[in-house]
Amino acid sequence: MPESPSNSMHAKRVIITGGNSGIGFEAAVALARLGADVTIACRNLQRAEAARTAIVERSASDRVDVMQLDLADFASIRSFAAVASERFDRIDVLLNNAGLVSRSRALTTDGFELTFGTNHLGPFLLTSLLLDQIIATPGSRVVNVASDAHKFVGKGIPFDDLQHEQKYSAFIVYGRSKLANILFTRELARRLDGT
């Protein structure tokens, strides 16, 4: 069934973090198929280019491009946001999809625990840096991918040990990062009510 003009994504700018695999990849295929201008933002440009080729083939749309973005590196996020803000005159959808689970405790480039830093702090900073442009685009959306893993964190986010130095459990840390995504989404929606 053809897409109706009221819900068409034709010529809408969509940025998808982690669009080279999984949910992000499938979202990129579907949105490109609907006519969106899709940017997949990925850490590894070689994998991103391979994904771009597959997305173009599956969607029958060449309106897909690739930009480098490492959500575990604030300098990369700032650079991406600066280039995106200059390159794109609108951002209709920011799909914060990229994420990871680190089996053992590791740190981001900026010294934050890797899972929490990549899954929450990175998307939080990216959204904050692009927010004025997103708000300026009529009908725009921020979509944050979460997980049912947030249900297994019990006592919530340990603000006295955000770095998870006292105790590290990969699944619990992942769940906390997903809970942070949900809390961020709710607060962002509250703050942007009416925009």
Q: Is 168 a catalytic residue?
A: no
Q: What is the distance between the alpha carbons of residues 150 and 148, in angstroms, rounded to a whole number?
A: 5
Integer angstrom CA distances of residue 7 from 4, 34, 39, 88, 91: 6, 9, 20, 21, 16
Alpha-helical (H) ranges within the chain are: 22-33, 45-59, 74-87, 114-116, 122-136, 170-191
Catalytic-labelled residue, pool 25, 80, 112, 174: 174
First to last CA, the chain: 32
Q: What is the distance between the alpha carbons of residues 33 and 37, in angstroms, rounded to a whole number?
A: 10
Catalytic residue numbers, as ranges:
174
